[in-house]
Amino acid sequence: MNQRERVPKAHEQVEQPADKVEKPAEQPAAAPTKEAKEQPATSLSEILLRAEKAYAAYIEAQKDVAKAYRESELEAERVYKESEQQARNARDGGIRQALKARDEVTEKAVKARDEAIAQTEQAYKSAKEQAEKAYKDSELKSQNAYDEGVRQSLKTYEEALAQAARKRAATIEQAWGVYTKTTS
């Protein structure tokens, strides 16, 4: 195997990926002229130079792809962080709303409890006043009844004494009347 046979094989291996990469890199360049088409590659160094340029373009394209992937990854990370922050904000807002609602409900419950206690205390005070009034009315009635009973008893006693005194006086008078008739 001579050197000529070896070089094209290595050249073919290098050129195959380079052709694939070279096509997009050469697209913006102008189309080759008739002279360039008619002139075949004349030297091995020119072919190697083209292969090196194609390989360099391939490496550059690989770097561009890696850069694009990295930028895409960074963008995805940025979007993720934004979504995470939005979720955190939504969570915090939900917690704040829940706390506010809890505080409002608690405040209403405390107010209702205080009003119920005040109403109960007022009802107790009113019932106590009514009970005191009923007690005093009852005490006054019983005192009046007692006084009336005592007055009636005293009246009855006095009437009974007065009647007994009248009866005694009549009995004494009758007894003296009988005594004086019998002695006269």
Give me 35's structure tokens: 């002279």
DSSP single-letter state for residue 33: P
Q: Name which of 75, 42, 54, 73 is nearest 12 in CA terms.
A: 54
Residue-wise pLDDT for 70-106, tens only, equals 999 999 999 999 999 999 999 999 999 999 999 999 9
Within 10 A of 18 (CB to CB), how many other CB atoms are there? 21
Supply the angle between the helices 44-183 and 3-26 in degrees, to the nearest 10.
50
CB 51 within 8 A of CB 14: yes
pLDDT band (50, 70, 90) for residue 25: very low
pTM score, two decimals?
Answer: 0.41
Residue-wise pLDDT for 118-154, tens only, equals 999 999 999 999 999 999 999 998 999 999 889 889 8
Q: Name which of 65, 79, 49, 61 is nearest 20 in CA terms.
A: 61
